[in-house]
Amino acid sequence: MKQLSVLINGGGMVGASAALALAQHGANVTLLEPFPPGKDSGTDPDWDLRISSVNNSNWEWLLELGIGVCVRQQRVFDYQKLSVTSQSGHNLSFQANEAGLSKLGVMVENNALQLALWTKLRSLKNVDLREGETLDKLNAGTKTVVLSQGDTLSYDLLLGCDGANSIVAQLAGFHYRGWDYEQRCLLANVSLEKPIEPETWEVFRPQGPYALLPLTEQQACLIDYGLRDNINSLQRDKAGLEAYLRETFSPHIGNFRVLKSASFALQRKHAAHYVKEGSIVLLGDAAHSIHPMAGQGVNLGFADVRCLVEVLQENTPSVALDKYEKTRQGENAKMMRMMDAIQFGWRSRNPVMQFATAASLKVAAFPWVKRWLLKQAVGE
């Protein structure tokens, strides 16, 4: 990979991890990011609302990249148990020790992880960080781009890691299939009266699931998926929002105080191709945005990066990119189809569908099915 010149647009969690992994394998990397992560004063006691559950396999990989010493430890929380419950009360749970692990994964604040990746990147000589700059023009034939401040750069590989509205994808003419979910995702960080277990859980209802991500022993992120109009009107009424959250979550976790809340639109988008012109590649949300109910979005993005780095080590770039596209598009499509099936099954008011989803939980409790599901949860 030495001598390979890689230009990456977008330094979020996926783009920054791609920059770090490729640079550590000897590539010359230029990273463009209009909004680089700010310094962390280290004094804010409360987590930001944008949090990701990162599976054990991806977390180990991030630690191998060296982020362990850079990430603020108060913004990482190991979880050992994961459970899902149907509206009819069927429950399926996984424990880390069933997979011989000490944890299933970690909850990590997106900002803290991005900042840790950038701190590592700043220490590397073969990384050029272009902060505040964006990509204005692309000439795929000459493999050159023009930046917002007028510089022209050339590349061997151009990686679009610039999220769901990727400018690289627009300039290169990538096409997507997808739709807008008519749902929004409401997030509320809360301080709890009683300590909770290091367990993440989700309960399914026809209007969409609700879930908890543990952040510390006495802080959690509460998640509620609902119809766009319902969530929007809840957000306009602070007292109503708190009363609604209490009614939903207090039976599980007792009393709590809401620290902050916000909601996010949800969309499903999948690029028809991941590679164009033999040198332009999409990764992360630029290639696929997925319903967050199973906490897979950035995990799929990290899996894209790991795959790309692996194939580039073993093949010429053109063979590598072919392999990358085939492997990752297939894997990501599988996960997206699974999310669609779950969405449809759980939300359906059709008794046959409700029976089928309840039965699927029972099937999933069979030891070999459970072992398979557990492997998916930890990212193996």
Ligand X SMILES: Cc1cc2nc3c(=O)[nH]c(=O)nc-3n(C[C@H](O)[C@H](O)[C@H](O)COP(=O)(O)OP(=O)(O)OC[C@H]3O[C@@H](n4cnc5c(N)ncnc54)[C@H](O)[C@@H]3O)c2cc1C
Query: Binding to ligand X by residue 15, rule CB under 6 A?
Result: yes
Pattern of binders to ligand X over 53-72, x per CB under 6 A?
Answer: x-------------------
188 or 192, CB closer to ligand X? 188
- For residue 333, the number of C-alpha atoms closer than 13 Å in the C-beta half-sphere is 12
Residue 187's H or E segment, with its range, is strand 176-192
Q: Which is nearer to ligand X, 354 or 377 (CB)?
A: 377
Nearer to ligand X (CB atom), residue 133 or residue 357:
133
Look at the chain and count its residues. 380
End-to-end Cα spacing for the chain:
26
Share of the chain residues as helix, strand and coil, in percent rounded to the nearest 5 = 40, 30, 30
Which residues from 171-230 bind ligand X, rule CB under 6 A? 185, 187
Residue numbers 142-171 binding ligand X by CB under 6 A: 161-163, 167
Please work out the total of residues on this chain that contact ligand X, with binding judged by CB under 6 A: 31
Taking the least distance from each CB to ligand X, the nearer of 93 and 348 is 93
Nearer to ligand X by Cβ, of 132 and 254: the residue is: 132
- CA neighbor of 332 nearest in space, from 288, 295, 294: 288
Contact of 122 with 129, CB cutoff 8 Å:
yes
- The interface mask with ligand X, positions 20-59, x = CB under 6 A, is ------------xxxx----------------xx------
DSSP codes of every residue in 25-39: TT-EEEEEESSPPPP
Phi and psi based region of residue 96 (left: phi greater than 0; alpha: psi -120 to 50; beta: remaining)? alpha
Shortest approach of ligand X to residue 73 CB, angstroms?
19
CB neighbours of 189 closer than 8 A, spacing ≥ 6?
46, 47, 49, 215, 219, 220, 221, 222, 258, 259, 260, 261
Cβ 153 to ligand X, closest distance in Å?
Answer: 13
Binding site residues, ligand X, CB under 6 A: 9-15, 32-35, 52-53, 134-135, 161-163, 167, 185, 187, 264, 284-285, 292, 295-299, 301
